[in-house]
Amino acid sequence: MLRANAVRVGHICLEVSDITASKRFYTPLFQELGFKIVLDEKESVGWSNETFLIFLGKPERQRVSKKMPGEDEVVIADHVALLLDSRNDVDSVATFMKKCGIDALFAPEEHPEFAPGYYSVSYCDPDNNVLEFYST
């Protein structure tokens, strides 16, 4: 059996409907977080921070369509959560996104129902993919 810490998330891929709109949303954020573009093609883009990669791709035919989550949802099944080192880092992301004119889906706050010290902020990208930043 493998060790519990032998498995890590290496990369994720998200389907998008408009690669240009998605690049406008993600590029400034990922640059701020220290990610570099590792793939930039007509219908796909990818960023890496040397330990984790995220790719966006626009298929020929859209397969996925999502509605924005509502405030009444306790758990959002389809989302990407990026772990940050501290609550200050979460607040820095929130400040940066606000400066970029992007409102939070869920404002920075504690969620003790998830884990002690769990603090997060979440956003929707142009396709309503939810991107959460959290610390514990």
pTM: 0.87
Between β-strands 53-57 and 11-15, what pairing exists: parallel, antiparallel or unpaired? Answer: parallel
pLDDT for res 62: 80
How many angstroms separate the CA atoms of 112 and 114, rounded? 5
Least confident of 22-26, 57-61, 129-133: 57-61
DSSP track, 20-34: HHHHHHHHHHHHHTT
The predicted structure's pLDDT at residue 43: 95
Hey, which bits of the chain come out as E strands? Answer: 11-15, 36-41, 44-48, 53-57, 79-83, 106-110, 119-124, 130-135
- Residue 126, classified by CB atoms within 10 Å of its CB into exposed (0-12), middle (13-18) or buried (19+), is middle
Taking Cα atoms as reference points, which of 133, 104, 131, 107 lies closest to residue 26? 131
Domains of the chain as residue ranges with CATH: 4-135 (3.10.180.10)
Q: Could you give the percent of the chain with pLDDT greater than 90?
A: 76
